A and B are shown apart, each in its own frame.
Chain A
Amino acid sequence: MIPASFDYEVAESVEHALALLGADPDAKVLAGGHSLVPALKLRVSRPSKLVDIGRLSDLAYVRDAGSQLAIGALTRHAAVQGDPLLQEHCPIVSSTAGKVGDPQVRHRGTIGGSLAHGDPASDLPAVILALDAELVIVGAGGERTVAAADFFTGVFQTAVGPGELLTEIRIPKLGDATGWSYLKYHRRAQDWATVGVAAIVHRDNGTATSASVALTNMGGTTLRAASVEAAVAAGSSPAEAAAHAAEGAEPASDTAASAEFRAHLARVLTERALMEALA
């Protein structure tokens, strides 16, 4: 498969990338290319121009930012997976990065590209949402910070507008009293998640006092399982709380699973994720 023709420019800086994007509303950003290039090959994406930010090495980093960690948007999944700061302070992010695709995909794909692509079946959006992360978007008008809850707006749609660039993801450091889990079900090793569940659980003497739970592939975007969170906060057991996992979700039926099976998976995986986070 060969993509349709497009123009190609290499961005030399963030400012240069913004100028290139601003000059062509039909241009798309190319980072690692592991969501975009397959879409180009299938010709479901036919941009006039690609602006390649893949050489902006100053956007590839993980930094300590006080109570948060800051991750540069161009940090590749393999680097996120192996980063010692993330492994120490927010291991759900490094662990989940290690579950994206396969080693070859993780050598090229980037965290910013994965999030900005807005695929409801990819793993990192649920983790970012459960963490209440912040996303830094720059554009011609300057920089703005968007909460993860406001970032994913639809299927393959995010708060990153035309002419804008996602540059940084800010996540909280998790303390010792916080457990976590990301579980997904898929039929074959490298498949997209049929359903995934990210759980962040605050513990006190082995009991959950509160939880943040986000679901992968249970609707057009990743979404919070608000009924589960309310049940945990009210003192329900993981099994009781997980029974609410599919409430309000409108999962699709497709070749991987029916909507009913997805709802079942959400309940089962939520219970397991809560248990794992409490362990």
Chain B
Amino acid sequence: MHPVTLTVNGARHELELEPRDLLVHVLREQLSLTGTNIGCDTSSCGACTVLLDGQSVKSCTILGVQADGAAITTIEGLATGGELHPVQQAFHDHHALQCGYCTPGMVMAAVSLIENGEAGDRDSIRSGLEGNLCRCTGYHNIVEAIAEVAGATS
């Protein structure tokens, strides 16, 4: 077992992990943060996307020990003081979800895209979401929601 310190949604956790424990399992099973979904489990679908030191990553493809010392933000960490994060609110306003399974990962990927300045137009948003699959194929409204928050010009 390896000692690992993670700061998740602002809260510091000191954990003892097996090296093979995947970050997504640590979040869901040890910290009970089940908002992060496991979809494909093969780094394809992006349902497990979280922010690691501010950058979107697929938590099914990162060992918990690799994240030692990092700050993690999950979908549970976006809303503040009972107010939805602007991306969450825009997903609500634009009906940017159908079954909802991909939504936590879509929202986290969108937050990263917007913060990196990579959501300036709808083409950039679409290519920036290529790591996130929506099997309801509801991409149109997802792109519209992100475009509104990002102030996309086209």
Contacts and interface: CB of A to CB of B under 8 A. Distances in A.
A206 to B, nearest CB: 30
Nearest to A54: B66
Given A33-B63, A105-B43, A8 B56 contact: no
Nearest to A7: B19
Given A1-B41, A4-B20, A50-B19, A104 B66 contact: no
Interface in B84-99: none
Which range holds the interface residue count of chain B? 20 to 34
Which range holds the interface residue count of chain A? 20 to 34
Nearest to A101: B131
Given A1-B41, A2-B22, A5-B18, A102 B130 contact: yes
Contact of B42 (A4, A38, A50, A52): A38
Interface in B78-128: 109, 112-113, 118, 127-128
A259 interface: no
Given A30-B66, A52-B66, A190-B44, A104 B56 contact: yes
A144 interface: no
Contacts of A38: 42-43, 61
B8 interface: no
Given A2-B22, A38-B42, A103-B118, A52 B131 contact: no
Given A33-B62, A38-B42, A52-B65, A103 B128 contact: yes
A2 B18 CA distance: 11
A7 B20 CA distance: 9
A103 B113 CA distance: 9
A107 B66 contact: no
Most buried by B among A6, A7, A10, A105: A105
Contact of B20 (A2, A102, A104): A2
A187 B58 CA distance: 22
Interface in A190-208: 190
Nearest to B127: A189
Nearest to A106: B131
A192 B52 CA distance: 25
A30 B49 CA distance: 21
A34 B132 CA distance: 16
B55 interface: yes
Which 5 A-B pairs give the minimum distances between C-beta atoms?
A102-B131, A8-B19, A189-B130, A107-B55, A3-B20
19 contacts: A4-B20, A5-B20, A38-B42, A40-B20, A41-B22, A41-B41, A41-B60, A52-B66, A78-B55, A102-B46, A102-B132, A103-B109, A103-B113, A103-B128, A104-B49, A104-B57, A104-B58, A105-B131, A108-B61
